[in-house]
Amino acid sequence: MMKNSTNLLKKEGPMFGKDEKEIATEVMGYIGKGMTVDGKMNFEGIVRVDGNFKGEISANGTLHVGEGAVVDAQMNVDKAIICGEVKGAVNATNRVELKAPGKMLGDIRTPTLIVSEGVIFEGNCVMTKKEKPAETPKEKPTKPAAVQETSLLNPGNEPGGKGTGMRDV
C-alpha cells in the first residue's frame, strides 16, 4: 500500500514536534525504509530519508533524516532535521536540528544549530551568519518644495525665537 506523501512526516512519538506538522504537506521525495540509493540528490522543497543514501545532496529546501536512516553524504541544504545517522559534512544556510536518537558524525556549518538531549555529535561546528534576502532600497520620503517647516514654539521660524530658548527644528 502506497503512503500518502502528505502524511510522511506526521508520525507519532517523542521525536516529532510541532515543526513536522507545518511541513507535512510539501514532501517532494521519499527514500523509504529498506531502500538504498547511491548518487547525487538535488531538490527544492522537502525530502525525507528513512532508508540509506550515499553521495551528494544539494537542496534549496529541507532534508529530513528519519530515525533508523543512514546518510553518508556531503550536504548543502537550506535546513536539515536529523533523527537518524549522518556521516559527512552538513552545510546549511538556515538551520540544523539534531533530534534524539540522532547521530551526527562530521562537521556542521550553519547559522542555527539545535541539539536535543540524547543526540550523539562527533565533529566540529562553525556558526555562520544567516544569509539575508536581497532587500530593495527604500526611498527616502521627500517634502514638497512649497512646504516650510515651522515649529509650534517658534511659529515665525526665527532663530532662537522670542523668549523660548529653543532653536529651529
What DSSP state is assigned to residue 33? Answer: T
Question: In tens digits, what is the pLDDT along the chain, a chain of 169 residues?
Answer: 344 444 444 444 444 444 544 444 578 899 999 999 999 999 999 999 999 999 999 999 999 999 999 999 999 999 999 999 999 999 999 999 999 999 999 999 999 999 999 999 999 999 999 876 666 555 555 555 554 444 445 455 555 555 555 555 5
Close Cβ partners of 71 (under 8 Å, ≥ 6 residues apart): 49, 52, 53, 54, 57, 65, 84, 85, 86, 87, 88
The reported pLDDT for the residue numbered 37 is: 96
The reported pLDDT for the residue numbered 110 is: 97
The reported pLDDT for the residue numbered 96 is: 98
The reported pLDDT for the residue numbered 25 is: 53
H or E stretch including 22? helix 18-23
How distant, in Å, are the alpha carbons of 33, 40, 96, 136, 164 from that of 63?
16, 14, 10, 30, 66
Residue type, position 137, single letter: P
H or E stretch including 44? strand 36-49
What are the sequence ranges of the domains in the chain? 5-127
